[in-house]
A and B are shown apart, each in its own frame.
Chain A
Amino acid sequence: RKEVEQDPGPFNVPEGATVAFNCTYSNSASQSFFWYRQDCRKEPKLLMSVYSSGNEDGRFTAQLNRASQYISLLIRDSKLSDSATYLCVVPELSGTYKYIFGTGTRLKVLA
């Protein structure tokens, strides 16, 4: 099993739709998680941090399910500008602050 797994997509959704993606992680001791957004081979940009049960920021909600070892990202009222790849990132627990990246989920919001 990979340390961080994501469905690569693409998820094609119409504008205004609600879409959710999951990310599973293998190390049950992981404490913090990040969602990054990456546009077309540009640099990843931090979207949300998740340290406890979840986090909400406007149209974006991240939730953590420790029992099943997954985090989810929910996007409400999708905009064309939300089209991007969403990377699930889990810090390694070796104390090195190294990140383990999922392969990303590609989202296309269609007009």
Chain B
Amino acid sequence: GEEVAQTPKHLVRGEGQKAKLYCAPIKGHSYVFWYQQVLKNEFKFLISFQNENVFDETGMPKERFSAKCLPNSPCSLEIQATKLEDSAVYFCASSQMTAGYTFGSGTRLTVV
């Protein structure tokens, strides 16, 4: 499709619960990126993929966050044992090289 599809739109989890977010990139886009947007518009890079391979994971808090992009499946971002500070909007984006990202509509995660 011509849009990046993210699900769910909203997710509420109690502290310590697991959260799993999904992203279907635009068909034909080789790169997938995950960003976390917290208050005051700060975008924090988490991880990127080139097809199903991790391209850059320098932003991932590795002890609780993991991500995958498997063939013929949506990409996923999973947070084990969520904390209050994980509350944010998580945006997925896809692109072809340096043409500029197309963002999904985001998943708003609220940890209570």
Contacts and interface: CB of A to CB of B under 8 A. Distances in A.
The main secondary structure of chain B at its interface with chain A is: strand
Contacts of A34: 100
Interface string B24-59: 000000010101010011110100100000011000
Range class of the A interface residue count: 20 to 34
B76 interface: no
Contacts of A101: 41-43
A43 B95 CA distance: 15
Interface size class of B (residues with CB under 8 A): 20 to 34
Interface stretch (A56-64, A71-79, A91-99): A91-99
Interface in B85-112: 89, 91, 95, 97-98, 100-106, 108
Contacts of A97: 31, 33, 48, 55, 95, 97-98
7 contacts: A41-B37, A41-B108, A43-B105, A87-B43, A94-B56, A97-B98, A101-B43
